[in-house]
Amino acid sequence: MIEQTPPHAAVRGHARGVFIAFEGGDGAGKSTQSRVLGEWLEGQGIEVVHTREPGGTTLGRTLRELVLHGEDGSVTPRAEALIFAADRGHHVATVVRPALERGAVVLTDRYLDSSVAYQGAARDLGHEEIRDLSLWAVEGLLPELTVLLDVSAEQGRSRRGGVHDRLEREADDFHDRVRQGFLDLAAREPDRYLVLDAAAPVGELAAAVRERVAPLLGGAEASATVPGAQHEGHGAR
């Protein structure tokens, strides 16, 4: 759990868990990788909270419906940015922080970087503005590690096999800007990111993720063996 800005003292004092985000374009395979990592962690007796944005809470599911399934033109770009930030603020306060305070590993499919890539870069609302908006919403909470599954617009389109929401309907150049937005974030803070080629085999990606996560677990968990670690580096960029 990393604090970008000093949080409330009580929150900082009890922070023990590990916060990991999975990011990438639509169709990158985030949910598969977070599920596989979660199973591996649970196999070691670690409490895992698997969650997502948008829609990781009751309020969030309503916001998700509004922001993803409205008619075209029904949500302006700034309203879109605010809805994702509202979902995130509520999600962090009611699900993520309580779990981290218990010492759980929190795995989220999408977090703040999705807003920077989709609203900041692709919708052109500005990297810093969108990042600051979300940082305000979550009182500065950033993941220890963000796993970025890098996928091209074309690959993403063929992998997700059909259009499911308003954002997926956007043209390839929108998704190219999303991709570049994610890569720019990773380039700024390479120590906090693991960038993987989403086209690599699932098992190979999972091994690379486990290898990167193991040292974050601390104590007994940190010395756990990492099955498949012999694939070190494969699929990584």
Interface with ligand TYD (CB under 6 A), residue from 29, 54, 120, 181? 54
Does 84 help bind ligand TYD (rule: CB under 6 A)? yes
Does 150 help bind ligand TYD (rule: CB under 6 A)? no
* 118/193 with CB nearer ligand TYD: 118
Report helix, strand or coil for 102.
Answer: helix
Kindly report the number of other CB atoms within 10 A of residue 141's CB atom. Answer: 25
Does 231 help bind ligand TYD (rule: CB under 6 A)? no
Spatial distance between the Cα atoms of 167 and 163, rounded to a whole number of angstroms = 9
* 38/228 with CB nearer ligand TYD: 38
* 94/228 with CB nearer ligand TYD: 94
Residue 110 CB-half CA count within 13 A = 24
Q: Which stretch binds ligand TYD (CB under 6 A): 6-14, 69-77, 109-117, 209-217?
A: 109-117
* 28/99 with CB nearer ligand TYD: 28
Spatial distance between the Cα atoms of 175 and 160, rounded to a whole number of angstroms = 13
**Number of residues near ligand TYD (by CB under 6 A):** 15
Does 157 help bind ligand TYD (rule: CB under 6 A)? no
- Whether 174 and 151 have beta carbons less than 8 Å apart is answered as no
Interface with ligand TYD (CB under 6 A), residue from 48, 106, 147, 167? 167
Range list of β-strands (E), the chain = 2-3, 18-24, 48-52, 105-109, 141-142, 145-150, 193-197
Range list of β-strands (E), 18-168 = 18-24, 48-52, 105-109, 141-142, 145-150
Does 118 help bind ligand TYD (rule: CB under 6 A)? yes
- Report the interface residues with ligand TYD, using CB under 6 A: 26, 30, 53-54, 68, 84, 109-110, 114-115, 118-119, 165, 167-168
